[in-house]
A and B are shown apart, each in its own frame.
Chain A
């Protein structure tokens, strides 16, 4: 895998000497007997847009609420900009939060909602409303200042909530499912809007989401959470291309997983014996012993379907097209292998008038050895 050439200072996590802005150290949160967050340690750097990604109940919101100060950790320490947050209540923290439900004050106008934080700081009304107007301009709601929240659409409310959370120029903005209540088209537009605002203001964002597309688009880095534990932290590309576990591989995008046993060692290509695909050549992985059980992860888009046997490709199997889903820019295939296992394959539709592979065709599925990811857990 090749990493895109980004200047080192925009990727501080690659620099071992960089000072983290937020340090989460061995944080555990228990509700009664239930451990919602289990011994999580995480460093987040200034200016990052960090996404906590996971299914519902994985502990991501609890972690966010501990950063905001709404929940106290059972164990562990949170440092923001070097300062221990243990005894700092929510109203004294240099963080602001954008709530999933937006939590706009229904009895106040948009302008009053946005100015609320500044008025609590003791700013004069004139000053607070002037800043609120400026912030509303940034989120493109300049003409809605006098409206009440119930007179706005969902997307407008979302932007009011964002403006209100940003007005105090927090060091850290926490966003709980910021785009969850928007429809798909609006969500895609708003994703880039969020990035624009984050870059304009230079605020560090931590976003909680269950939507992997959202996380991939927004994030500088993603932390994949499951069952109170962070499974993997990495840049979107890293998470997608080199998942460290079956859970992450399956959670991010679509994947075909094959169980197999490591075969005898070879100098530059290893072989793994699988029941579904037979012997598969994979790129060599350090630390594997012969006879060890491993899983092979193969992304649907890395598999090529051909009517004739491909030449010179060591990894190929035969199968029968069981189902085709035409999505427009690509087609999704379900291919049944000889032993009955069904694999998912996607082929991009580059040409308008090509003769696509269709139902009930006997085909060859092939892939390059380098695209196979070997997982040990």
Chain B
């Protein structure tokens, strides 16, 4: 064994090198392979060669191969999350300019050859001082908060009912909750316009029933925005709630009843506290995307529905003030991330093993 191992390692190293060479040859079109077959083949071989080289390199550096497994998601997060965030942060410190790209460079050479870094927090100060942005943030938080509360009030009984249902029915109900995802989110929001508008389904039915004389104004109001957000994000509330409620042991409820708790008291003292993780998870899954929601207020809301997503869009594309827009985005991110981290910390402290 001990003698065979180095030999095997040597031959493996040779194979990896051969593979890498093959990849290079394919890339250079040296080998006589038809072009349409050559391109995917060369990509495949190159990817394999890179992977094996990474393994070799990792072994050589003494890094456990386990890291390779998480390397791909890590790389993904780095390229598509961290790098854009840094770019955004850098733009938020710049000044707007009529140029391409429309912001000042990070540094410039003075006429005397001196080296100046151009960066200031003026944009953030501007956000803080201008009531428009403050109101947009507050109104976004309010809309998201109210929507979350309604999603919770509607979602909890549904999740509870599904979790308590016997097996064949439970699966069907869960499927029904997930079913809307089969259709594009945008189409479903458009469908709401058909329901809510002046001559839409709801007004038609109500006037046919004689309940109303004048059509109700529902489109382009905050009401429509709430409907849209609660409707869209309800499954994200139901699923985590279902996941915690389905684990709830029936005998705990029986024990509470046995000790003299009425069904209401049992719910308040046992079911509700034990489903708190689900409530927190579901609320976050609704609150966070709702805060930055752009499409729903744009399609269903009125001109005075002020939400940070729309402000962001206007700054980027109407005012073309990228630095302020970046600052808006960064502040929003901080506003959302800080409470999440705090909640996570609290949960980690309290979670029983």
Interface size in chain A (residues, C-beta < 8 A): 27
Q: List the B side residues contacting A116 at CB < 8 Å.
A: 256, 259, 261, 269
Q: List the B side residues contacting A364 at CB < 8 Å.
A: none
- Residue of A69, A90, A96, A104 contacting most chain B CB atoms (<10 Å): A90
Contact partner, A97, options B258, B265, B269, B353, Cβ 8 Å: B258
Q: List the B side residues contacting A96 at CB < 8 Å.
A: 258-259
Please tell me if B43 contacts chain A, counting CB pairs below 8 Å.
no
Please tell me if A171 contacts chain B, counting CB pairs below 8 Å.
no
In the complex where A120-B259, A120-B260, A120-B265 touch, is A70 in contact with B353 (Cβ < 8 A)?
no
B259–A117 touching, CB < 8 Å? yes
Interface mask (A37-76 → B, CB under 8 Å = 1, otherwise 0): 0000000000000000000000000000000111000000
Interface mask (A148-180 → B, CB under 8 Å = 1, otherwise 0): 101000000000000011001000000000000
Q: Spot the interface stretch: B58-66, B113-121, B201-209, B246-254.
A: B246-254
B251–A168 touching, CB < 8 Å? no
Q: State the Cβ distance, B32 to closest chain A Cβ, in Å.
A: 68
Please tell me if B165 contacts chain A, counting CB pairs below 8 Å.
no
CA–CA, A43 and B353, complex, Å: 45
CA–CA, A173 and B265, complex, Å: 22
Q: State the Cβ distance, A122 to closest chain B Cβ, in Å.
A: 9
Please tell me if A91 contacts chain B, counting CB pairs below 8 Å.
yes
Q: List the A side residues contacting B352 at CB < 8 Å.
A: 106, 148, 150
B259–A99 touching, CB < 8 Å? no
Q: List the B side residues contacting A105 at CB < 8 Å.
A: 252, 255-256, 269-270
Q: List the B side residues contacting A120 at CB < 8 Å.
A: 259-261, 265
Q: List the B side residues contacting A148 at CB < 8 Å.
A: 352
CA–CA, A168 and B258, complex, Å: 11
Please tell me if B194 contacts chain A, counting CB pairs below 8 Å.
no
Closest to A114 in B: B259
Interface mask (B235-279 → A, CB under 8 Å = 1, otherwise 0): 000000000000001011011111111100100011001100000
B270–A90 touching, CB < 8 Å? no
Contact partner, B252, options A95, A103, A121, A168, Cβ 8 Å: A103
Contact partner, A117, options B252, B260, B270, B274, Cβ 8 Å: B260
CA–CA, A106 and B254, complex, Å: 14
Q: List the A side residues contacting B252 at CB < 8 Å.
A: 103, 105
A121–B251 touching, CB < 8 Å? no
A99–B251 touching, CB < 8 Å? yes
Q: List the A side residues contacting B274 at CB < 8 Å.
A: 106-107
Q: List the B side residues contacting A69 at CB < 8 Å.
A: 257-258
Q: List the B side residues contacting A89 at CB < 8 Å.
A: 257
Q: List the A side residues contacting B269 at CB < 8 Å.
A: 105, 116
Taking CB atoms and an 8 Å cut-off, the chain A residues in 90-126 that contact chain B are: 90-92, 95-97, 99-101, 103-107, 116-117, 120-121
Q: State the Cβ distance, B295 to closest chain A Cβ, in Å.
A: 39
CA–CA, A97 and B251, complex, Å: 11
CA–CA, A107 and B350, complex, Å: 9
Contact partner, A99, options B255, B265, B273, B353, Cβ 8 Å: B255
Contact partner, B254, options A95, A99, A168, Cβ 8 Å: A99
A101–B258 touching, CB < 8 Å? no
Closest to A100 in B: B251
CA–CA, A99 and B254, complex, Å: 9
CA–CA, A116 and B258, complex, Å: 11
B258–A91 touching, CB < 8 Å? yes
CA–CA, A70 and B353, complex, Å: 31
User: 17 A-B pairs, CB-CB below 8 angstroms?
Assistant: A68-B258, A69-B257, A91-B259, A91-B261, A91-B262, A96-B259, A97-B255, A97-B258, A106-B352, A107-B273, A116-B261, A116-B269, A117-B260, A120-B260, A121-B260, A150-B352, A168-B259
Smallest CB-CB A-B distances: 4 pairs: A117-B259, A120-B260, A103-B255, A103-B251
